[in-house]
Structure formats: C-alpha cells, structure tokens
Amino acid sequence: MVIPFAHFAGVKAETMSTSLLTSVSNISHLVCSKCQQEYSHESLQRVSACCGMPLLARYAVSAPFSQKVLQNKEGTMWRYQEMLPVIKPENKVSLGEGFTPILSLKNLGSSYGFENLLLKDEGQNPTGSFKARGLSMAISKALELGVEGCIIPTAGNAGVAMAAYCAKANLPAIVVMPRHTPKAFKEECYWYGAEVHLLDGLIHDCAAEVRKMNHHGQLLDVSTLKEPYRLEGKKTMGYELAEQLQWNLPDVILYPAGGGTGLIGIWKAFQEMIALGWLDKDVRLPRMVAVQAQNCRPLVDTFLGLQQNSQQYNGKPTIANGLAVPRPLGEPLMLQVLAESKGTAIAISEEEMVEGIREIGKKEGLFVAPEGAAVWMAARQLLSQGWIQAQEKVLLLNTGAGQKYVQNIEGQYLN
C-alpha cells in the first residue's frame, strides 16, 4: 500500500494534549511510514514495531499561524520551533546550526546556459555539514527522553556531528566508521571526546557492528531513519529555502542522496508548509533529483528497474563518503518523493566529481564536498539531456565543506 506522502506530513487542527499546552512544539504523535500505525512521541521510539520502518513526526495546530511568527527569531533552524519536536526549550542542544546561505552561481551557470542556478551551502553549518541539523535535533530529543548515551555507524560527517552534539549535551558517544574514512573525520571525533571504532567495509558493515555492540539496547542508535528526529532536523532545509526565496520554490532541486534523510525531509517540509498555508495549496512543487555515486548507486538501480530493491545491493567506496550507503532503509520513502515530485535519480562517476570540485572552485570560489560536486555534474547532464530547461530555477545542495575530503582528492587538481 502506497500512502500519499502528504498524509504523513499533514498538519491537523486538533485539541492538543495537556503536556503540549506549555510547549513550544506542536508535535502530536508519530506514524509508521508504511502502514500509518500511530506511536507516542512522549516515549523513546526507534523504528516502528509494526513494520520495522521509519517513524515520521506529525503535528497538531490548535490555531493557524502565519509566517509572521518567524519575525525577529534567531537565525538558526530553531526559528521553526513550532514545527519541530523538542517540547521544552531547555532541552535544545544547539551550536548555531541552520540558516545557511543560498548563493547565486552566475559564473558557472552562464558557462553552461543556466539562467538561474543557485546553491545552498550546507558546508557552513557547525561541524562542516548538513548533518549538524539532524544530529542537533536527534541529540536534543535524546536528552529530553532521558537517553544515557548514543551510538552511530557513519561514513564520516554524521559521526562528527553526533560526537559534537553529544559533547555539548554531556552524553557519551560511540562512533563506528570505515577504516578508509578520511583522517579529518576521525580526528574531529577524537577531539570531541567520542569513542571511535574503525573497521573494514562500508556503512552497512558499521551498522552490523553497532547492532552487536549495542545488543543490550542501552544506547540510542541514531542511524539514518532508525529514530524519528534526525529527519525533523533535516527538513528545516525545506523551510529555509522557501523562506529565503520569499516562498517561491525552485523548479528543480538536486540533492546528494545516500541515506536520503534530507531528500525526504525537504519534501516533508513542503507538505507541512502547504498544510499551514505558508505555501499555496496549488503550488507547483520542485522536481526532486536524487544524485548518487556510480560506485554506490542502489537507489538509481531500483528507480531504473534494474533491481526490485536495494536490500542485497553491494557498493564500493567513493570519494563522496556520504554517498557510500548501499542499503538505505529510507529507499521506499525516497522513491515516493521522486514519484510524487516527478523527479529522477542519476549517478555520477568519481572522475566527474573531481571535475565538478575543480570547476566550482575555479569559477565560483567555493570548495565543495564531492557530494556537492556530484549534484552540479548531474545538473549539467540533465540540462544537456533536456530534462532541465535553461530558464528554470535550479537549486543545488552542497552538503559539506570540501576541506574535510582533501585526503580523498589530494593531488587530483593536477590532472
């Protein structure tokens, strides 16, 4: 059964429970993303007990409120606190994440015929990536729900972010990452005081190790979509870009999709804003493009019908560490976003990513992560194929700072 994505993100006008009357949040409950079964947000949840699938937060608004509520609020993702899940403000664990700039890529765009090419630079977040959003929210809720410590399998940036926010929250942190992860990621985790475990393989191998280490369940596993709240942090990218663009959405958004939380979250944000009346109910939403690496393209292969699903997919390492996610739990939700948005999925080679890093650096003065370079190269290809039109407003998501990946691409600027 496929349930329209808007159903999960819908904002209901309901009477709020007594526990929410003094809350800054309008969260009402959680739902299973597969069968709609409801779960309480007032107790610690992981995946749904019914289907073993991601849980999604739902919100109940007792009275409509407009975008004017944003006036004079802090310039972080927490400006949207009414539509975020943290109940008590004192549980907010923040390093100033969010409200990253949207930059116009005029030099790059004019070179290839794009008339309106934009980039949202998530590399300017604390800890240097968009993972700061999700982990700020997940650790805040972990603190609120009395968690004793957190553990995560990671390709790099998520582990760094979890380590930082756990340090801020005074919670123990265990990070499990592939041995080939660039040194910068490992070192940062050490400096934040996390316990770091290195092993051979990709992130799904790390996830298996996490299950062994945490068999007692004492720690909260904050793996992608295995708890409900990283998604809520990531969705703030959708709220932000709508607000920053004066509520006029792009025609196309290109997103580097490994675990896919951001892709799913941005779409969820659009549905919530429609329900709130912040976006017109007849608004034409962007076509969403999921960009992956040729070395690890599970979603692309499923989207193209080359496999039934990615549950048995085996990928290879890539210089875009965040795209090395061979068996994403959120694949059904990502496919749903692509279907509802009339979007597509595309894979980019290692050589193309290096070319993209070089080109964005030379033409725009930006040192983007390989994931960010991948979305630029995907945009180039889709424009040349006619899937993107020159006059369309196209927004790229650069998910991290390129400096952390220097070990992966060292010397390749000479090629």
Closest to 7 in 3D by CA, of 340, 362, 319, 300: 340
Distance of alpha carbon 376 from alpha carbon 258, whole angstroms: 16
Walk me through the domains of the chain, giving residue ranges and CATH numbers. Answer: 5-87 (no CATH), 102-126+232-414 (3.40.50.1100), 131-221 (3.40.50.1100)
252 with 286: CB under 8 angstroms? yes
Q: What share of the chain is helix, strand, coil (3-state, %, to 5)?
A: 40, 15, 40
Per residue in 286-322, is it b (16+ CB within 10 Å) or e — as a string? Answer: bbbbbbbbbbbbbbbbbbeeeeeebeebebebbbbbb
What is the dihedral angle through the alpha carbons of 43, 49, 51, 57, rounded to the nearest 10 degrees?
0
pLDDT in tens, the chain (415 residues): 455 666 655 666 553 333 333 468 999 999 999 999 999 999 999 999 999 999 999 999 877 788 999 999 999 999 999 999 999 999 999 999 999 999 999 999 999 999 999 999 999 999 999 999 999 999 999 999 999 999 999 989 999 999 999 999 999 999 999 999 999 999 999 999 999 999 999 888 999 999 999 999 999 999 999 999 999 999 999 999 999 999 999 999 999 999 999 999 999 999 999 999 999 989 999 999 999 999 999 999 999 999 999 999 999 999 999 999 999 999 999 999 999 999 999 999 999 999 999 999 999 999 999 999 999 999 999 999 999 999 999 999 999 999 999 999 987 765 5
> Which tokens sit at 208?
């298996």
Please tell me the pTM assigned to this model.
0.94
